[in-house]
Amino acid sequence: EKQESHQYQQALRRQLEAQDHTIRILMCQKTELETALYYSQDAARKFE
């Protein structure tokens, strides 16, 4: 029973680490998109 509990906790930990990794990637992508949007909007304003 202890072994099963330990394995379950390990599986949860791996899942949490994977989710954390995904969140970090998405946050980086969000920052890149916000930067691109800023420069696109700035360029569009110059054409007005």
Per-residue pLDDT of the chain (48 residues; tens, 9 = 90+): 889 999 999 999 999 999 999 999 999 999 999 999 999 999 999 998
Amino acid at 17: E
pLDDT of residue 35: 99
Q: How far apart are CA 11 and CA 22, in angstroms?
A: 17
User: What residue has token string 């899942």?
Assistant: 15
